[in-house]
């Protein structure tokens, strides 16, 4: 028998997630009961492609399954996500998928500068003190970190911890985890930025510079593992500036200053974000 015939093809309706059904994709790990989720036609959409946004398990899963799906990603083309349904059921399809190709149109540094400039035009002197030592002047992206572990191994460990919250498994048809934010049509940061693609571009950059991996999503939350975190105070403050531009709420509803937030993330291998 030909070797190709021995390869387990994607089961069920998973092939519907892909624009190109002619590409051979395989998945040997067993899946729990679940189904694809179509975007709600009454919800504002950002693209006209008519296909499911993602696959969703019926019940919560363990972190070990997330790890198996992550390991199979190169062959399946499906990136796993632990999806929190506390505030909103993902199965409702209240998502607005964006073309993954749009992510290429955004530069993380330019996005950071734009956010910083918009804020500085309205900021007071006291506001500028909160972002010391940078104040009104955007510092741009931080230098890459140094790996303290394999990024995938780090992701697997954090997935086991996150899965204890009783989260469902989602599968997105993307080449890398960062792209899942746009492909799923996640709207968690809508009050901060109208489009998700620029945020996905930032997360791509964190994948490359800090060994970050997208582990989980909630209605307005994002969970990343980090294998090359900032370990010095100076670098942590610079990374904190990036986090602030990405998600201002974690600073203004948290420690209140870059210095305070920098101490929270220095050496931390887990980055959690939330938006109002």
Pairing mode of beta strands 78-83, 168-173:
antiparallel
* 156 found inside a domain: yes
Place 23 in a pLDDT band, splitting at 50, 70 and 90.
confident
Strands of 270-274's sheet, edge to edge?
34-37, 54-60, 168-173, 78-83, 212-217, 221-226, 270-274
Tell me 252's DSSP state.
H
Average pLDDT, the chain: 92
The pLDDT value given to residue 1:
38
State mean pLDDT over 242-264: 93
Specify the number of domains making up the chain.
1
Of 86 and 214, the structure prediction assigns the larger pLDDT to 214
Range with the poorest average pLDDT among 15-24, 42-51, 72-81, 139-148: 42-51
**Domain membership of residue 194 as a residue range:** 3-97+149-223
What digits encode the pLDDT tens for the residues 191-233? 888 899 999 999 999 999 999 999 999 999 999 999 999 999 9
HEC secondary structure over the chain:
CCHHHHCCECCCCHHHHCCCCCCCCECCCCCCCEEEECCCCCCCCCCCCCCCCEEEEEEECCHHHHHHHHHHHHHHCEEEEEECCCCCCHHHCCCCCCCHHHHHHCCHHHHHHHHHHHHHCCCCHHHHHHCCCCCCCCCCCCCCCCCCCCHHHHHHHHHHHHHHHCCEEEEEECCCHHHHHHHHCCCCCCCCCCCCHHHHHHHHHHHHHHCEEEEEECCCEEEEEECCCCCCHHHHHHHHHHHHHHCCHHHHCCCCCHHHHHHHHCCCCEEEEECC
List, in sequence order, every residue forming a beta bridge with 170; answer none if it has no partner. Answer: 56, 81
Please answer whether residues 196 and 140 qualify as being in contact, where contact means their C-beta atoms are separated by less than 8 angstroms: no
pLDDT at 127 over 90: no
The pLDDT value given to residue 220:
94
Pairing mode of beta strands 212-217, 78-83:
parallel
The pLDDT value given to residue 42:
78
The pLDDT value given to residue 240:
97
* 160 found inside a domain: yes
**CB-facing half-sphere around the CA of 118: CA atoms within 13 A:** 10
The pLDDT value given to residue 185:
92
User: How is residue 20 written in tokens?
Assistant: 């190109």
* 182 found inside a domain: yes
The pLDDT value given to residue 48:
61
Of 8 and 109, the structure prediction assigns the larger pLDDT to 109
Is the pTM of the predicted complex or chain greater than 0.85?
yes
* 17 found inside a domain: yes
State mean pLDDT over 148-162: 98
pLDDT at 107 over 90: yes
């Amino acid at each position: 028998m030909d070797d190709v015939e021995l390869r387990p093809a994607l089961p069920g309706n998973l092939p519907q997630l892909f624009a190109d059904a002619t590409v051979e994709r395989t998945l040997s790990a067993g899946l729990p009961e679940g189904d694809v989720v179509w975007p709600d036609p009454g919800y504002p959409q950002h693209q006209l492609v008519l296909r499911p946004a993602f696959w969703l398990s019926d019940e919560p899963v363990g972190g070990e399954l997330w790890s198996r799906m992550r390991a199979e990603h190169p062959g399946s083309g499906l990136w796993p996500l632990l999806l929190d349904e506390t505030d909103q059921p993902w199965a409702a399809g209240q998502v607005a998928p964006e073309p993954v190709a749009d992510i290429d149109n955004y530069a993380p540094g330019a996005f950071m500068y734009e956010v910083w400039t918009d804020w500085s035009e309205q900021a007071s002197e006291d506001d500028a003190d909160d972002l010391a030592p940078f104040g009104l002047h955007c510092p741009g992206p931080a230098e890459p970190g140094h790996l303290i572990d394999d990024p995938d191994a780090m992701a697997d460990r954090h997935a086991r911890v996150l899965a204890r919250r009783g989260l469902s498994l989602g599968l997105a048809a993307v080449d890398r985890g960062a792209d899942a934010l746009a492909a799923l049509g996640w709207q968690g940061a809508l009050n901060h930025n109208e489009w998700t693609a620029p945020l996905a571009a930032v997360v791509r950059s964190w994948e490359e510079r800090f060994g970050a991996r997208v582990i989980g999503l909630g209605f307005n939350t994002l969970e990343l593992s980090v294998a090359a975190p900032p370990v010095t105070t100076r670098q942590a403050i610079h990374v904190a500036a990036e986090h602030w531009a990405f998600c201002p709420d974690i600073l203004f509803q948290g420690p209140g200053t870059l210095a305070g937030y920098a101490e929270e993330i220095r050496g931390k291998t887990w980055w959690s974000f939330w938006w109002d």
